[in-house]
Every structure is written in structure tokens, then in C-alpha cells.
Structure 1
Amino acid sequence: MRLPRNTLVLLVADLALVLVAGWAAFWLRFNFDIPPEFDRLALLASPWSVLAYGVGLSMARVYRQVWSYIGLPELRQLATGIMLGGLLTSALILMQRIPSFPRSVLLLQPLIALVLLGAARAGWRTFVERRTLGHGGRRLLIMGSLQDAADALRALKGSAQWQPVGIVSPIAGEAGRSLQNIRVLGHTSDIAHIAESEEAAAALVASPAGSEERREALMNGAGSRLALLTMPRPDEWLKTESAGPRRIELEDLLGRTPVQLDVAGLGDMLSGQTVLVTGAGGSIGSELCRQAARFGVGRLVCVDVSEYAIYQLEQEMRQTHPQMQGLYYTANVRELDRLRAIAMKHKPAVVLHAAAYKHVPLMEELNEIEALRTNVIGTLHAARVAGECGARRFVMISTDKAVNPTNVMGSSKRLAELMVQGVAAEHAGTQYVSVRFGNVLGSSGSVVPLFTKQIARGGPVTVTHPEIVRYFMTIPEAAQLVLQAGLMGRSGQIFVLDMGEPVKIVELARMLIRLSGKTEQEIPISYSGLRPGEKLYEELLADDETTEPTPHPKLRVAKTSGQLPDIEAVRAWIGDAGAWPSSEELRAWLRTQVPEYSPR
């Protein structure tokens, strides 16, 4: 097999250094004055050592390395190759029984060879790094402890875009120390002053996700007007061509820790199976489609009432998962026959029901009957169709607003949960579960896109009340936990997701203003008052009195009681209510079905 030109050059260079090491070993053995009779022995041993070290280095696959990125793993690999070369050389020389051959040379040569070959690689990497830095890059501060900064600096090696100029540590005792010739310039609270003195253009936050140090660094950095960066999450490495730093996003600021998934169990549930997703074009529905595709579904059946949303999903899936069989339907879950025809054609093993109306103020006035038709009747249709087509699992996406609801949207979702439990009794072969969670960052209709638009317009950012708080979760985290609940759940259970600590909406607004590089003086915050049906606090019922733990740390099962509704009576009432039932009559009926519903 013909060696590539670069590999051949490196092999020749290494073997030349091996020859030098062999002669140096003789010189050291005889105190730099080799007797004439031993010159012949050195010449005799040279070709054998070249052959042996060539074989040893090749066996250790040293020539697959890239010298510009040499590190400890590569040096260990090099040491293995040299050791093999030294052993082969010793074996070849000793087998020839050369008289008076100094055996100490056989020990000295590999040691000297390791120094010379290692130095050559280290020198080349140093040259490449200095040449890269010489071209210049944007001046970058690293925010994190020395341990965190070490990982970040390794990731930045060879980057021509960024030039690290200092470390800003949350540990006061690390000030003045250095790492790879980059000094710790001070504490994270002094980031604004340090950035100005170092003329830094950006700061890379290296503290681990979910840590208090990371949150503190982000808040300090957000007030400094620096561009804040972080390294991509593992799931993002697969989506981007470059694994370099990216801009900080709001979900980084909230510090959600990654979800632990039963990958093997989810693989068994989804891999090679047909999965049907309703509301597939929405924020949660589309992420459920991505996660299902990630687990290797055999066929993904996507249903959404919006033509544009299902078109966008189709384009994305064709690009990211070209081998997957995707089927994209425009259909309304309120139309039973259409939904049944789709399900019967494809016989899904898993049905993920995300189709719903979820905007509280819109559903509270003028559109109450629409909330009932989609959230209650649509859920009933999806659940029954899942049982009729023989699906093994049905998962409904619910909401924290279903707990002690004060609005039509929340009470409609609570009634939908009850309908799912009722249908579960009709179809023993299908496992029916519901999953409750709070607000999802970046989902349609959420406050984050609204605040972002208001900041882009120059403000003000409108918050309904200074004390209003909400639970937040990222879209991928929510979708992953939905799948995990679907895997773990027993029929009729309602799962509650651990949403972490609640966040004040006004603090969320301040975070977004800071991340935009503005101040509250430039982008003011105004208060508009609570909207119809809106609570100051949402409830998840995630305490020990009202929920039971599960093997997964972020999932609990809600303890529910009470009589299930008469499914046919509910269906008949909503069907007979007409296009414009009176608001009072509708709310009075809802209270009979959901006793905990308390309109405001």
C-alpha cells in the first residue's frame, strides 16, 4: 500500500531522529568519546533500529496523528510505538549475538528517541499556535475556575477566531495564577473593568451548566455589555458544522441541567416503530418529532391543522433525517373520521397528542367553546383512535394550568386529562398517560418571543404584575421528559415534571434586556395588570403530599381522586352547545365537570 506523501515525510523525519537517538546513546555510554572499535557496532545496529522503530511506530498507529493538535493521548501513543521499537531493536541485536555490544545503549536509545520525537511534535504545535495567534483574533476572556478554564482552552486550541487574553475566576484565591501562560486577572464581579482594560470583545462562560458559579458569571457578564459565549451542548454538536463557541441564550441563564433518559428503553419503544404525533407543527409537537426521529422511528406520522406549520416541519425533517419515512397530514383532531382514517392506515405503536389551544387570555374570552372542542373533544378523538388502531402507548401533553384551574383553558385541559383516564378503561391494550408541565422557553405564545420583539423595538417590556412567577423548561427537556413518562407510565397515570425553581417574570425580562446588551434605563419595564383568568402563581402539585416519586428524579405521579366524567354526556353537551354558547352557561357546566375550577 502506498503511503500518503505527508505520512512518508513524517516517517522519514522520525526515523532520522531515531538514528540520532541511537548515536546519542553510544555517545552517552562512552562519555561523548566513542572508541573506534565501537563505531562499527553503531553502524551495524543503525539499520536494524531504523527497521524496528519503523515497525513499532506503525503498529502504534502514530502516523494517524495530526501534529498541530498533539496532546497527552498522542504522546502516550508515541511512547507505546517507541517502546515497541526499542523491544524489537533489542530482540534483533541480541539474536545476532554481536560481540561486546553495549546493552545499556538499548535502554538509552528509546529514552532519547522519546525526547527527540516528542520535542519535535511539541515544537511543531507551538509553532502552529503562535502562527495562529500571530494572525490575531477577537480578544476573549474565559469566565470560570482554573479547572473549567482548562477545558475551555483545550476546546479553543487552533481557533483563529478567538485569542484568549485572560481568565476571570469566581474563586478569589486563584487571582494572579496562570494557565497555559494566560493569567487569572481577577474575580467575576470585576468583569466589566477587566474587559475594558484588556480590550476584550467577548467572554466565554466556562462554568458547568446548572451551577451557581455559572449563573453568577452570566449575570455579571450580562451587565458588562460583552458578547457572552458558551461552548455548544452535546446535542448541538450534531446540528452545527462547527463546535466553536456560540452566543449565550436564555436557557443557559436559567441553568437547567440536562435530562437523564433511559436511552435503551426509549430505543425499544421507538426504534423501528410507527409514531403518530398530533399538533406536530407546534413547539412541543415538532420537538417530539425531532426526538422520535433521533431514536430511529421507522415511520413518523405528523398531523397538524396548520398547513404552513406542517410544511415547515416536512422541510426540516427531509433535511435532517433524509432516510426516515415521514408522512405529513393537514388534519384537525376535532374531525374524528379523518383522524381515524390516518391512524388505521398506519397503525402507530405510539401516539403523542400535543394538539391543543393553550393561550389563556384568548381562550378566556370569545373563544371558550373552541378550547372545549379542541382540548376536550380533540383529545377524546385522539385517545379513542389510539385504542382502536391498537397503539401500545398514548401520551397526552397537559399543563400546570390544569391544577386548581382559574381559567377556561386550564379547566379544559383538566377535563381532557379526565377523558384520557376514562378512555383508558375502554382500551386495556393501550397504556394511557398524561404529562403536566409549565411554560416552555421559546414556545409559540410564550413571553420570551414577545419580550424579544419588544426589546428589539426599543421597549418598553410589558409585564403583567411585578410578583407574577412561572415555571420554565426548555423545549428539548420537555419533549424528552414526555417520552420518558410515556415509557414509564401505567395506564391512567398523570405525570408531573420537575420544573425546578419558579422564575419571576420581571426577572426574566431583566435577563433578556441584559443579554441584549442594553440596560433597564434604555429598555424600561412597564406593568399592565393581570389578564382575565391569569394567576400570580401556577401550581404543579409536585410535593410529597400530592404526588408520588418515580425512579426518574424529574418525574412524579399525581395523586388524583374523584369520579370520572360521563364521556358521552361531555361529548354531547359540547356538541349541542352550538357556535356561541353563553359564557355563564359554559362556565357553570365546566364547574360541574371540574369541581376545582374557580373562575376569576
Structure 2
Amino acid sequence: MIDFSLWGAIAIRLGSPWPPMLNEYSWLFLLLPVLCFPAFMVIGLYSAVVRYASLDTIWAIFKATFVASLILCGLVLFRGWGGFPRTVPLLFFTLALPLLCSTRLLIRYCYCSVCRPKSNSAKKVVIYGAGSSGAQISTAFNLSNEFVPVAFIDDNPTLHGRQLNGIKIFNPNKLPELLRKHSPEMVLLAMPSASKSRVKEILNWLEPFPVEVKRLPFLDKLVSNKVGIGDIQDVAIEDLLGRDPIPPRFDLLRSCISGKSVMVTGAGGSIGSELCRQIVRLEPKRLILFERSEYALYHIDRELQNKYKGKVEIIPILGSVCREQRVEKVLSVFDVNTIYHAAAYKHVPLVEYNPIEGIRNNVFGTMKTALAALNCNVETFVLISTDKAVRPTNIMGASKRMAELVLQGLAADGNGTKFTMVRFGNVLNSSGSVVPLFRQQILKGGPVTVTHPEITRYFMTIPEAVELVLQASAMGEGGEVFVLDMGEPVKILDLAKKMIRLSGFTVRDEDNPDGDIEIVFTGLRPGEKLYEELLISDNAVATEHPMIKKAEEKYYPWPELKRQLDSLEKACSNFELEAVRNLMFEIIDGYKPQCDFVDPVWLASNKKH
């Protein structure tokens, strides 16, 4: 191509296919390619895989052609310009650039259109989004055997009717027609820069169509600005919530953490592990991982040590919050300033089956850790609470409300440590969460199990909840119950239907007996209620953060509450469930058990007697 471009440049300039001057400069046809070869190697022209030719390849060709033109000028100058036309190097560049580009693009076209093996199993895809990400992913599809892009759809009316990578762009309203014409198996949402609220709107619009929906990650989750087949992922439940994040206030985030000794109890759990991940990024002096499960502690310690070893002192501690001496020793030795207390039993039916252990861990574990914090002059103690603590119908919720009362009572006693509580609803993809269960049931072909057609829940992502917890902890002065803005409650039945439809299946019910996946109602589980609340009374006040409110709620003076707790501990030790329940009626406003005792040990013991 170099020699052909050189001949063409001289021929065009002199107006003859073989002017006599070619004989005089015939040595250029040998020397120019020889000198250009190593230069092209350095530029990387030969290292690019031709069938994956892209804009980067064209840029490399441009640089190589420019260097070749400079080499041509240098050779002619070395010999002396003489009668050599000065416009030839420019004509050479003008010819060589399109020739080198076209040959590589032609090879790529031949590979994609002729040589690439066809697969009957390749999925037909409609790409939603004809921007740079859509262009990149369609290029990746064209080079793979897994997917075949059949159309683009885009909201921008100026793109409708045009083509991108040889694929026509349509108005989204044309999707039903495209489904009939091409029978695609997937719609891919290729809009990484779209807001979460916009993604939610699109997913709600796509839901009724009988096609699987997948997406590319949001821009902040992409490893680089380039996208490929490996970036395709399932629609996440947080996409259906569509809450655009509010930028955090870093002064609040860092207030109780940066440069301080911080301990997280329950460090290996869903909330506890995310607390550790976010805390370690805020540069504490040290981070103590306090966890009773060896397996969970090993995993979170290994994860953090791999990323932050040498940057932050990370100390894994095996222990139970119910052992006050162990907790106090750890707090004293490591001069802990801040405690995030996430250690708790939180699975409602399991705690209902094991009420005494639930109370011991959630109530007395909190009390003993709080008293240890007082004895060691810990500055800040933050309890991770739950919406199930509001007018509880189960032991888990009741025990968490009692844990709140413990901290409120100690705070009112005014002993130095700042006790704060943060209350929020369900977090997505935590252990025991309904979302992973639904996903697993859908993959198996159903049925999807829902406890009740009217049941609703608040949802929030774990990172979002933890980020707000860290900010709320900095606003507390002692005894406050902070409540996170969870958005609107979600009907679990609607959530199940959305997940089924967005997976490309249809719901089998009375209206559609030939559907793919059935939804089965199993009945409320022990302790479960239809809806959750975040406030006991309607007197929440705003704080300096728009997503955090402060609740003013009833509490007991510590001496009075301590007497009640002593009675409760005695009843637990004697395994007297009736006495335990009566004391909880007495202590907790609005406690209404949803079911009778279901503790299998207590039931079996009563049968024997």
C-alpha cells in the first residue's frame, strides 16, 4: 500500500501513469517500505487485530501515515529535492490514509459478514439507546456468536430512521412492531448515564412486553468508559425502585470515623459488612471487626485486608455481644471512640421460633455492649434498628424496640456516651431477603411464593442505608431515634410480577392460564404483618439532611427500665414464655403478637407435662 500510494501521488502530480521521473526515484519504492515497517511496529499498527478494527485502529493508521509522509520527506531531502515535486508527500498522505483504512475495514467486514460462523442459538437483541454505549455493545455483538442486534430504539427523535453500525434506529413506540417482525429474545438497556428515575420509567414501560430485559451498568459502576458483552447484567431490584441518590455530606460521614478507633459489631452480616466497607474508606485510625461467626468474620476480614492492608489497621475479633467482659476488654485495649452496633438476630420467623435467644442477643446483647461502652468512655454508640420495632407483632421487632429503649434510657441518664438509634426498613439482597428468593424461584421455573396478596414492605439498597446511617450518627446529641426516608412502600405481589416479566416470562394466573410461572400464596409466617411503619407517633421532625428525620418517642428512665429488664432476664433464664410475653406487653407500646407461641422446645416441653 505504501508503494502504491507513492506511485499514485507521483502519477497524479505529473499527470502520467509512468513519468520518466519514476526511474530516477525508483530507489524510494524499496527504501520507504523498509523504513516505514519498524515505525509502524512502534506505533502499534500491526498489533491490532484487524477483525476488531475500531476508531483506535483508524487513529493508529493516521499516525502511521503521517510518519510515513515525514519519512518520505526526509529521504527526498537527504538526496536533495532537485526536481522532485514538493506536493507529492501531501498527495501520498492523502492516498495512503484511505487505502490503509479501507483495507482493514474491508477485512473486518468480510470477517463479520462472511467468515464468522453463524449460530442458530444466537439471541436476537433490540438495543435501547443509540449512544456511544449502544454503538460499542452492537460492535461487540457483531463480533460474537451469542447475540445478533436487530434494531436500535432511542428517545431522541433526530436519530429515528438513521443507522448506527448498519442497524436502523426506531422510535420506542415501534417496539411492538419490532417484536412481531424480528421476534427478539432480549431488550438491552444501553443507557449507563441515564438517571435511576429514568431507568425506572423505561423498565415500567418495558414490563408488559413478552421479552427478557437486561441492562448495562450505570456509568459510575463501569470499570472503564468502554462496554462489552461481559458488562451485560440482569435488571436489579434497585432499578425498579428508581431512587436517584442524594450526594452525601462528607463532613457528616467523616465526623465519627476519620482518625478514630471504630468498632462494628456483627461485622460479617449484611449491614455490618457494608458498614465496614464504607468506614474503612473514610480513613479511621483502626477498624475492629467484632463478629461471633468465624466464617463471616474470615470473609469480611480477608476482603478488607486485601484492599486496605498497610493503610488502615484492621483487627478481626471473635466474640459475642452477650459477653460484657469480652466486649469491655476489646473497647478498653483498642481505645474505641465509635461503635456501630449491627449485631442482631433479624429473621422474623426464626426469632419467633427461638424467642429467648432472640431476646438475649437483641436486648441484653445491646444492653451489655452499651454498658461496656459507658465504662470505657466510648464517645458515640449507634444502634442499627428496624421498622419492625414500630408497633411490633413479633419477637424480633419487639426485641429491637426494647434495644432502642435501653439506649434511650441510658442517654437520658446522661453518663457521657452519646447513644443514637437509626431505624429503617428492608434492605435489598440481604441474607433472608425476598429478592434473591424470587430470583432463584424464577430461574427454576417457579412457582414464586408470596405470603399474602396485600403485603407491602419498604426497601432500600444496603449501600444507601449504610451511607445514611453514617451521616445520621454524626447528627445525634444523645437519645435520638433517626428514621431514614425509605420512599414509598412496595407491594410484594407487584414486585414478584415485575421480576417475572422482566425475566422474559409471563405470569400464570386465572386471566392467563397458559403463562410460564405461577405465583403461589403461602400465608403469613409466624410474627409477620401485612405492612411496616417507621414511626410510633406522627411527630417526626426534619434534620439537616433531607433523607433523615428525627422521631420523638416515649422512653423509660433507666432505673425503672433496669428493674423491668432484670425481671425479663429472670423469665428468660427460667424459660417462662408467658412471663416474657407479659413483660413485653408491659414495656412496649403497641405490641400485638401476630401468633401464639411457636417455640418448638417450649411446645415439646409442654406436651411432656
Calculate the TM-score normalised by the size of structure 2: 0.74
| 1:574 has 2:565 as partner | yes
> What's 1:536 paired with?
531
Question: Would you say the 8 A contact 1:232–1:243 is kept in 2?
Answer: no
Q: Which amino acid aligns with 1:35?
A: P
1:231 aligns with 2:216: yes
Letter of the aligned partner of 1:33 in structure 2?
P
**Aligned ranges 1:256-275 → 2 under 5 Å:** 256-257=243-244, 260=247
Q: Does 1:462 align with 2:450?
A: yes
What is the CA–CA distance in structure 1 between the aligned matches of 2:525 and 2:477, rounded to whole Å? 37
- For residues 186-233 of structure 1, what are the alpha-carbon distances to aligned partners after superposition, in whole Å with 9 as ceiling and x for unaligned? 746855x74465353433233456556644654565555544332346
Residue type at the aligned position of 1:179: L
In the alignment, is residue 104 of structure 1 matched against residue 87 of structure 2? yes
Give the aligned partner of residue 181 of structure 1. Answer: 166
Deviation at 1:27, TM superposition (A): 1.9
Shift in alpha-carbon separation, 1:268–1:562, aligned structure 2, 3 A: closer
Aligned partners of 2:115 and 2:301: how far apart in 1?
Answer: 38
Residues 470 and 538 in structure 1, CA contact (< 8 A), matched pair in contact too = no
**Which whole-Å deviations, capped at 9, do the CAs of 1:498-531 have from their partners, x for residues lacking one?**
4333322221122234356241425145484797
Q: CA, structure 1 residues 557+145, in 2 after alignment: closer, same or farther (shift >3 Å)?
A: closer
The aligned runs of 1:180-579 (5 Å cut-off) are: 180-184=165-169, 187=172, 190-191=175-176, 194-195=178-179, 197-208=181-192, 214-215=199-200, 218-219=203-204, 223-232=208-217, 235=221, 243-257=230-244, 260=247, 276-291=263-278, 301-305=288-292, 307=293, 310-312=294-296, 314-315=298-299, 318=302, 322=306, 328-347=316-335, 351-360=339-348, 367=355, 373-385=360-372, 394-402=381-389, 409-410=396-397, 412-414=399-401, 416-417=403-404, 419-420=406-407, 422=410, 433-449=420-436, 451=438, 458-459=446-447, 461-464=449-452, 466=454, 468-483=455-470, 485=472, 489=475, 491-492=477-478, 495-515=482-502, 517-521=505-509, 522-526=517-521, 528=523, 534=529, 536=531, 538-539=533-534, 546-550=541-545, 556-561=547-552, 565-567=556-558, 569-577=560-568, 578=570, 579=572
Q: Distance in 1 between matches of 2:107 and 2:251?
A: 44
2:460 maps to amino acid = M
Other-structure match for 2:587: 589
Partner SS, residue 149 of structure 1: helix
Q: Deviations over 1:519-575 (max 9, x none)?
A: 14251454847976736353369999722243xxxx634234468653454344313
CA RMSD, 1 decimal: 4.7
CA distance 1:34–1:280, shift in 2 (3 Å): same
The change in CA–CA distance for 1:460 and 1:323 in structure 2 (over 3 A counts) is: closer
Q: Distance in 1 between matches of 2:445 and 2:126?
A: 32
Whichever residue aligns with residue 93 of structure 2, its letter is: P
Inter-CA distance 437–268: structure 2 relative to 1 (3 Å threshold): closer
For the pair 1:27 / 2:15, whether they are aligned, the reply is no
Structure 2 CA distance for partners of 1:357 and 1:424, relative to 1, 3 Å: farther
- Measured in 2, the distance between the counterparts of 1:274 and 1:508 equals 41
Deviation at 1:412, TM superposition (A): 4.6
Asked if 2 retains the 8 angstrom alpha-carbon contact of 1:176 and 1:183, the reply is: yes
Q: Mean alpha-carbon deviation: is it higher for 391-400 or for 507-516?
A: 391-400
Deviations 1:338-358 (A, max 9, x none): 222344455556533211233
Quote the residue 1:119 is aligned against: 102
Q: Aligned-pair distance for 1:447? A: 3.4
**2:103 alignment partner AA:** A
Alpha-carbon distance between aligned partners in 1 of 2:499 and 2:137, rounded to the nearest angstrom: 25
Q: Alignment partner of 1:204: what SS? A: strand
User: How do residues 124-143 of structure 1 correspond to structure 2 at under 5 angstroms?
Assistant: 124-130=107-113, 133-136=116-119, 138-143=122-127
Specify the alignment match of 1:164 in structure 2. Answer: 149
Percent identity of equivalent pairs: 31
- Deviation per CA, 1:247-293, whole angstroms, max 9, x where unpaired? 33433333354675678997998799865332233322233345556
- Give the match's secondary structure for 1:461: strand
The answer for the alignment partner of 1:12 in structure 2 is none
Q: TM-score, normalised by structure 1?
A: 0.75
Distance (whole Å) between structure 1 residues aligned to residue 500 and residue 245 of structure 2: 25
Aligned amino acid, residue 106 of structure 2: G
SS for the counterpart of 1:243 is helix
Cα separation, partners in 2 of 1:435 and 1:542, compared to 1, 3 Å: farther
Tell me which amino acid in the other structure corresponds to 2:499: L
Structure 1 residues 586 and 471: CA distance shift in structure 2, 3 A:
closer
Contact 2:127 2:149 (C-alpha < 8 Å) held by counterparts: no
Aligned to 2:600: none
Relative distance call for 1:561 and 1:215 in structure 2 (3 A) is closer
Instruction: State the aligned residue count.
Output: 564
Shift of 1:62: 5.2
Query: Where does structure 1 lack aligned partners over 5 or more consecutive residues?
Result: 1-16, 592-596
Aligned mates of 2:65, 2:255 — CA distance in 1:
46
Structure 1, 432-441 or 454-463: larger mean CA deviation: 454-463
